[in-house]
Structure 1
C-alpha cells in the first residue's frame, strides 16, 4: 500500500512528488490519468491521494464520490493549477482534506501531507473526537448536537475548516 498516490497529467509534478515522498520516507505511486489512478485505487489502498482537477480524461472533482466510496477511502488533497474559489468550495464540501493551488511550496505540501497522514493514522487507531466543554451552551436539538460533534472532530486536527 503506497502512502501517497499522485494523479496528475504533468510528469514534472509526478517527479517532484516522488522526490518529496522519498525525502519524507513515504512510499509512492503515480498515475497520469484519472482512469489509471482509479484503477490503482481499486487494486490497493493508499493513505493520501494528491489529485489534479484538470486531467485529460476527466475532472478530478467528479471522481471524488468514487474515491470516497472506497472501503478504506484515502484522504484527498486537491493540487490544481487553477485557483477556482467555487471549485475549492465544492471540493471541501465533497470531503477533501485540502485544496492547494500550483505552484505550492514544497514545505507547504509536506505540511499538508504530514497532517493528512497523521489524521488517517489517528482514525485507524480509533481515536475519537475531542470532548467539548459545553458549560453554558444550550444545544438540545439534534441538528445543534450534530454541529457540535463536527466542531469537536475539527478541533482534533489542525486542518483548515470551511464553514458555510
Structure 2
C-alpha cells in the first residue's frame, strides 16, 4: 500500500511510518495540510491517515481537499480523547473510519486494508463507467463532427440530473438512442432501461403502465 500519513506530532508520525514500512508499505509523511496537499497533487495514494487537529487547519478540511483531488481516496481520521464526536462527524462528511490515539498498529493496518479495498472498488467502478460511456459514444452515437460531439456532451450533462427528461424530434432522428445514452451516462446505468412504446398502449392503460395503479 502507498500511504499518506499526516500528523504534526513528529514522534508519533515517525513511529507509525516505521511500523508500516516494516510491514512492506510505502509511506509519505506530512506535518500539516499544506505539505499533505503538495504530495497529494503529484502522487496517487491508496489511503491516507490524517490527524484531526493540524497546525494549519482541521483534519476534516484536509479530508475534503484530499477527496476533491482524488474522490476514490479513503481517509482514516486519528483523534485524541474528547474529540470522538468530531471524528464521527468526519465520517459523516466522507472519512472512511477513525481511530483513537494511541492506536493499535494491528488495528490500524486492518482498517487500512479495508479502506484500500473500498478505494480499489471505487476506482474500478469509475473505470468501468468511463468504459461504458466511451463505448456508448463510440459505438452507438456515430459521428465525429462538432455537432455530434456537442450533442454527446449535452447528453452527459443531462444525465447528471435527477429531473425527468423529455426528448423531442422527428421520426428517425434518434430519440431512443439519445434516451439510451442518457441512461448509460447516468448513475442509474447499473439498472435496466425499460423502453415502452406509448403509441401502442390504449389511452386508458397508459397512465397505469407508466405510474402504476391502486386496486
What's the TM-score, normalizing by structure 2? 0.54
Deviations 1:18-39 (A, max 9, x none): 2222233111100011111111
The separation in 2 between residues aligned to 1:29 and 1:49, in whole angstroms, is: 10
Query: Counterparts in 2 of 1:12-51, with a 5 A limit?
Result: 12-51=11-50
> Following TM superposition, by how much is the alpha carbon of 1:83 offset from its aligned partner in structure 2, in angstroms?
4.1
Measured in 1, the distance between the counterparts of 2:22 and 2:120 equals: 20
Aligned position for 1:58: 57
How far apart, CA to CA, are the structure 1 residues paired with 2:82 and 2:72?
25
Q: Give the alignment's Cα RMSD to 1 decimal.
A: 2.2
Aligned length: 128
TM score, norm. by length of structure 1: 0.69
Matched residues in 1 for 2:108 and 2:82: separation?
16
**Which residue does the alignment assign to 2:117?**
118
Which position in structure 1 is the counterpart of 2:8? 9
* CA gap 1:24/1:72 in 2 versus in 1, 3 angstroms: farther
Give the alignment of 1:58-137 within 5 angstroms: 58-71=57-70, 73-126=72-125
Distance 2:34 2:10 in 1: 16
Pairwise CA distance, 1:104: 0.9
Q: CA deviation at 1:55?
A: 1.1
From the CA coordinates, give the structure whose radius of gyration is larger.
Answer: 2
Partner Cα distance (2:70, 2:116) in 1: 17
Note if contact 2:72-2:123 (Cα within 8 Å) is conserved in structure 1.
Answer: no
SS of alignment partner, residue 95 of structure 1 = coil
**1:96 Cα deviation after fit:** 0.5
Q: Distance in 1 between matches of 2:95 and 2:104?
A: 19
